[in-house]
Amino acid sequence: MSSLLLHFDGDITHDHTVSLRTLGKALTHLQAAVNRAHLDLRYGEVWKGARLQKEDYEATELWSRPPQEGGYIIDFINDSPQIKKTLTRMINAITPTVERSQQKAIVAAGSLAQQSDIAKQRIDSGIIQPEQLADYMPRANQRPYGDRAINKEIDLLISVVRTPNAGQSTIEIVIGGDQSSTFKFNRQESEAFHSYVSTRQLGEPFIISANLRELDAKNKSGRIVNLITGREIKMTFTDDSFGQIKPFLGSPDIMSFIGCPIYEGGTFDIHGGDIFFLRLV
């Protein structure tokens, strides 16, 4: 029998109950994490904006049992072999992330703009040579983006112990897939987990060809169609790059440029991940 259990304890509980706000947020993101794990298994990967299809709902159902005392405990079960695989995928995503978040503090790498300046300097000095996106793609997902998608939902779930009124509360997640794993978070552990999964860093630069669809000078962002993958993605840039980019808006001309993938929590979605513009080729 596969199972998912949530155990709330501390100031977020009251006489073995929790508030609708706390429970609602936790359950919403718990189900979302299950959905992400299922999609990752079904398609071999999960991408930004992926949604369940009609036939996916039955495969991601878990049924609640009566709440238990001990703070507040609620669990969900399903005897489906598919659910067992899905929950095991969750365990495999969460376990290394918890370990990395607890092993060391996240070192600030500076803003993306500051990181882009360093990348340009490395290119100019010959330290790195940008390669074509097609050559970069095979190793882009060495750390699966599915891990990031699952952990993003777990991070939102455990944020209930980071709220101002949470005090010294804890939340425990027990996942029973091929094996049973327990993940327990207090405020400090939740903050460390959040710091890890929310860190955004630029990866090694590559050369990408695209069509420019939208441009937002105020927010220094645009929408481009990646001509290798055919996907529309977000592109970010600095103020001094705007003049290079603007002529391509509304033009059929292909914009070939050097860009850096924006890694989130150590992962990058090669199909839908954001790109940081460095310069035209």
Mean pLDDT by 10 residues, the chain (281 residues): 94 92 96 94 78 89 86 92 94 92 64 92 93 83 78 96 92 92 96 90 93 95 94 94 95 96 85 93 93
Q: Which uninterrupted H or E stretch holds 253?
A: none
| Residue found by looking up tokens 């101002």 in the block | 164
What is the per-residue pLDDT for 107?
53
Structural domain spans, the chain: 2-109+144-199
Helices 81-103 and 187-198 cross at an angle (nearest 10°) of: 100
Q: What is the pLDDT of residues 197-242, one digit of tens each?
A: 988 889 899 999 999 999 999 999 999 999 998 999 999 999 999 9
pLDDT attached to residue 28? 97
| 16-25 tens-digit pLDDT | 899 999 999 9
Return the closest-CA partner of residue 37 out of 154, 135, 121, 164. Answer: 154
pLDDT of residue 139: 72
The pLDDT score that the predictor gives to residue 100 is: 85
* The pLDDT value given to residue 67: 83
Residue position matching structure tokens 């999964």: 197
Structure tokens at 238: 């600095």
This prediction's pTM: 0.77
Which pLDDT score, from 0 to 100, does residue 142 have?
58
H, E, C per residue of 10-41: CCCECCCCECHHHHHHHHHHHHHHHHHHHHHH
The answer to whether the Cα torsion of 237, 213, 272, 61 is positive or negative is: positive
Structure tokens at 272: 């839908």
Closest CA to 173 of 9, 10, 1: 9
Helices 145-158 and 187-198 sit at what angle, rounded to 10 degrees?
Answer: 150
What was the pLDDT predicted at 138? 75
CA distance 146 to 268: 9
Rounded-to-integer distance, Cα 262 and Cα 2, Å: 36
| Confidence at residue 85, expressed as pLDDT on a 0 to 100 scale | 94
